[in-house]
């Protein structure tokens, strides 16, 4: 689950990665030969919403070509909603482990300035970094109560973008630490971000760089430029994604023009599943069950493509369990960066996966499904155990809002077990057939509750940097068991008194 990176293993994997990308750490040109990293993160894009992931209506030829020339990950996980997903990506940790301002957990994290983010690690080995796009680890606010929470105070050298989402349009745009007066709209934002990204790449072509391009689209309110509006068979939602695909093509072509495509890794993914409650302005998670906010697969399993020029084998498809949290230790390893010995990460270095045919026996296939502070399920290999829960749990503040589809917050009356290899849509509960697997996965749940925490438990490995009470929300739920809240819930026989709050 969590890993304190072993120094010797870090060296081995780092050398493997640097050899793979043609840059030995002791080479005199090591600084200029370090791989560049580009993460392209979309907002609320569903698992099905790329041609290479099965969409019959949305045309994404540039992203599909990246997949054809690189690696397509089909069991890649984010978090169920915007802020926690960005928190996990930038810290390499489950959001419940991550320290927040005033020791208070929020539905949208306000990440503590003392947390170590990926750009800070890369800066130590000479990287220049830019965040272009949506920030949203500042409590989902459109301003900054604390300047220490600005991207430029948390490791990035440059920021151009919005503090939060575009629920009501593009309200505020920052360049570094100042709000700029502009006429940027949801229709122009993707092209403007693309222009900013291309300029950053051009300025930093001679040194290693990290570009985090976090698009506002296709989160509502939707928009697309006149060149793309009305062109997709999937309406305005499809228009927005097809414009993002154009943007990906522009970035790839810039790398080729500069001759740095073979020393650059591009990761394309989404922050969570589609916002189906938005109707035609939301995407598709087919063939998965569930959508944004849900811990069914469609809420957290997202499309992911990794491309590395000629350094990656082409056309590889991997169903190995991976997540956005893996990018932090993987990029650190490939960059030859040292991580603090006391830093506990939940992500794994997946370099070994990148240099093979899409499967590595070195990796632990494990993922915990949290929504807000609530641990609702675990995946180990092909098996997923879903825990009982009441409908729209009261300890999830946004659960009762009318922004979500009923099935995404539905009650689960008893433990359910799914074989995701044979039943990716989570339709057939096989818990009765495999009590041994239920028991094994339940033990993993117990470990996570102890180490990371749950809605009514403070994890031993959770981080806190401020004085005062830790997670005051916990005391509201410690005396409530789920079977007392919902009398229809049936607890498994091996629940004991200490586990009834699951």
What is the predicted pLDDT for the residue at 30? Answer: 57
What is the predicted pLDDT for the residue at 481? Answer: 65
Q: Which residues of the chain have pLDDT under 70?
A: 1-32, 402-403, 481-502
SS3 of residue 265 by DSSP: strand
Q: What is the pTM of this model?
A: 0.93
Report, in angstroms and rounded to the nearest whole number, the Rg of the chain calculated over CA atoms: 22
**Position of tokens 């296709």?**
218
Q: How would you classify the pairing of strands 316-318 and 71-73? A: parallel
For residue 128, give every residue at least 6 positions away whose Cβ sits within 8 Å of its Cβ, in sequence order, or none.
157, 158, 204, 207, 208, 209, 210
Nearest to 195 by CA among 345, 203, 264: 203
What is the predicted pLDDT for the residue at 312? Answer: 84
What is the predicted pLDDT for the residue at 20? Answer: 54
For residue 406, give every residue at least 6 positions away whose Cβ sits within 8 Å of its Cβ, in sequence order, or none.
none
- pLDDT tens digits, one per residue of 167-176: 777 889 999 9
- pLDDT tens digits, one per residue of 228-269: 999 999 999 999 999 999 999 999 999 999 999 999 999 999
């Amino acid at each position: 689950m969590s890993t304190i990176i072993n120094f010797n293993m870090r060296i081995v994997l780092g050398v493997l990665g640097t050899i793979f990308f043609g840059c030995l750490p002791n080479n005199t040109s090591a600084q200029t030969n370090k791989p560049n990293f580009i993460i392209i993160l979309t907002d609320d894009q569903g698992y099905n919403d790329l041609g290479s992931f099965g969409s019959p209506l949305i045309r994404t030829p540039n992203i599909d070509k990246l997949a054809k020339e690189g690696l397509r990950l089909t069991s890649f996980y984010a978090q169920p909603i915007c802020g926690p997903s960005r928190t996990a990506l930038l810290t390499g940790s489950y959001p419940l482990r991550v320290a927040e301002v005033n020791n208070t957990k929020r539905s949208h994290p306000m990440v503590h300035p003392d947390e170590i983010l990926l750009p800070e690690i890369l800066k130590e080995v000479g990287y220049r970094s830019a965040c272009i796009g949506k920030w949203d680890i500042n409590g989902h606010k459109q301003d900054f109560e604390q300047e220490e929470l600005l991207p430029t105070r948390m490791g990035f050298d440059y920021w151009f973008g919005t503090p939060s989402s575009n629920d009501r349009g593009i309200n505020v745009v920052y360049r570094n630490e100042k709000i700029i007066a502009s006429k940027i709209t949801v229709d122009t934002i993707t092209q403007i971000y693309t222009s900013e990204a291309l300029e950053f790449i051009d300025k930093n072509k001679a040194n290693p760089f990290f570009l985090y391009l976090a698009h506002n689209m296709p989160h509502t309110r939707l928009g697309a430029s006149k060149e793309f509006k009305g062109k997709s068979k999937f309406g305005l939602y499809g228009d927005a994604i097809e414009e993002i695909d154009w943007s990906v093509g522009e970035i790839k072509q810039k790398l080729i023009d500069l001759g740095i495509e073979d020393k650059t890794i591009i990761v394309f993914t989404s922050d969570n599943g589609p916002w189906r409650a938005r109707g035609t302005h939301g995407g598709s998670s087919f063939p998965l069950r569930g959508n944004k906010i849900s811990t069914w697969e469609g809420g957290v399993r997202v499309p992911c493509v990794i491309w590395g020029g000629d350094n990656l084998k082409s056309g590889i498809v991997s169903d190995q369990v991976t997540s956005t949290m893996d990018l932090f230790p993987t990029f650190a390893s490939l960059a030859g960066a040292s991580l603090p010995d006391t830093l506990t990460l939940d992500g794994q270095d997946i370099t070994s996966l990148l240099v093979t045919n899409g499967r590595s026996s070195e990796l632990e296939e494990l993922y915990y499904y949290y929504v807000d502070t609530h641990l609702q399920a675990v995946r180990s290999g092909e098996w997923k155990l879903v825990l009982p829960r009441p409908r729209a749990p009261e300890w999830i503040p946004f659960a009762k809002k009318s922004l979500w589809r009923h099935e995404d917050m539905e009650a689960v009356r008893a433990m359910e077990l799914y074989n995701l290899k044979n039943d990716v849509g989570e339709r057939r509960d096989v818990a009765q057939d495999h009590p041994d697997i239920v028991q094994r996965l339940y033990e993993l749940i117990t470990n996570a509750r102890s180490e990371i925490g749950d809605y009514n438990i403070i994890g031993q490995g959770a981080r806190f940097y401020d004085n005062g009470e830790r997670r005051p929300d916990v005391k509201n739920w410690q005396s409530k068991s789920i079977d007392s809240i919902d009398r229809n819930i049936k607890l498994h026989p091996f629940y004991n008194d200490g586990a009834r709050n699951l």
